[in-house]
Amino acid sequence: MQKILLTIDKISTFAGQASSWLIVSLTLLITYEVFSRYVLRVTHPDAFDAMLMMYGTLFMMAGAYTLAKNAHVRGDVLYRFFPPRVQAGLDLTLYFLFFLPGVVAFCWAGYEYAGESWAIRELSSITSEGLPIYPFKTIIPIAGVFILMQGIVEIIRCVQCLKQGKWPSREVDVEEVDVDELKEMVHVTDKDIEKLDEVITHKKESNK
């Protein structure tokens, strides 16, 4: 079981990470477009569409990846003080109550929406003869299915947690605030912090 869960994690992560490289091409595309506009005096009308498509694909496909790494924002006023079993119970209920109806509907709606667009081979209306947008609209159901799959994995995780009383492990990923890495960046070690502690306690004593 754990193997299947981790495999789906890996698939979501791979899809998300693969599309996350779009940020680099987005940066380069726009930088070049601005350069071209002001220096070469050439503009590419399709660049605007391309920009939106890269951005849209980037964040839609990263949705499941973000879910796999438990990085979607959640209100943690209460949540982080709950024991794991309560957390899992709440999550499980709300996955059924909110997540499944919302995401299933979104997938289904996206599937029809993209289908209509494919049927007429829809082109972007920003420029005449714009880029085809039916592949872009197809991203909606695809991203939806990835999220749904990942959501089911998370549901199973909740059940496991309810059984075992602790959250099953996830694969590690790069974190926004990785304290150890930041410590290394500015060359501070735990020993330095301990020494600092002495400074404070010493000062308190001398004040007394």
Residues 20-49 within binding reach of another protein (CB under 8 A)? 20-21, 23-24, 26-31, 33-34, 37-39, 41, 48
Q: Which stretch binds another protein (CB under 8 A): 4-12, 94-102, 164-172?
A: 94-102
Among 8, 9, 12, 87, binds another protein (CB under 8 A): 87
- From residue 16, alpha-carbon distances to 80, 96, 142 in Å are 27, 24, 12
Q: Which stretch binds another protein (CB under 8 A): 2-10, 159-167, 184-192?
A: 184-192
Instruction: Kindly state whether residue 193 participates in binding another protein, applying the rule CB under 8 A.
Output: yes
Place of tokens 């569409």: 49
Measured from the CB atom, is 1 or 73 closer to another protein? 73
Whole-number minimum distance, CB 64 to another protein, in Å? Answer: 9
Encoded tokens for 118: 């494919």
Instruction: Kindly state whether residue 4 participates in binding another protein, applying the rule CB under 8 A.
Output: no
Q: How far apart are CA 201 and CA 208, in angstroms?
A: 11
Among 36, 44, 59, 122, binds another protein (CB under 8 A): 59
Whole-number minimum distance, CB 164 to another protein, in Å? Answer: 20
Whole-number minimum distance, CB 205 to another protein, in Å? Answer: 11
- From residue 105, alpha-carbon distances to 68, 99, 100, 109 in Å are 21, 10, 8, 6
Residues in contact with another protein, shown as a per-residue x/- string from 141 to 160 under the rule CB under 8 A = ----------x---------
Q: Which stretch binds another protein (CB under 8 A): 2-10, 133-141, 161-169?
A: 133-141
Q: Torsions phi, psi of 26, nearest 5?
A: -65, -45
Among 4, 112, 127, 170, binds another protein (CB under 8 A): 112
Distance between the two ends of the chain, CA-based, in angstroms? 60
Whole-number minimum distance, CB 169 to another protein, in Å? Answer: 19
Give residues with Cβ within 8 angstroms of 132, minimum separation 6.
Answer: 121, 122, 123, 124
Cβ 130 vs Cβ 123: under 8 Å:
yes
Q: Give the burial string for 101-136 (b: 16+ CB within 10 Å, else e).
A: eebeebbeebeeebeebeeeebbbeeeeeebebbeb
DSSP state of 80: G
Q: Which stretch binds another protein (CB under 8 A): 1-9, 52-60, 162-170?
A: 52-60
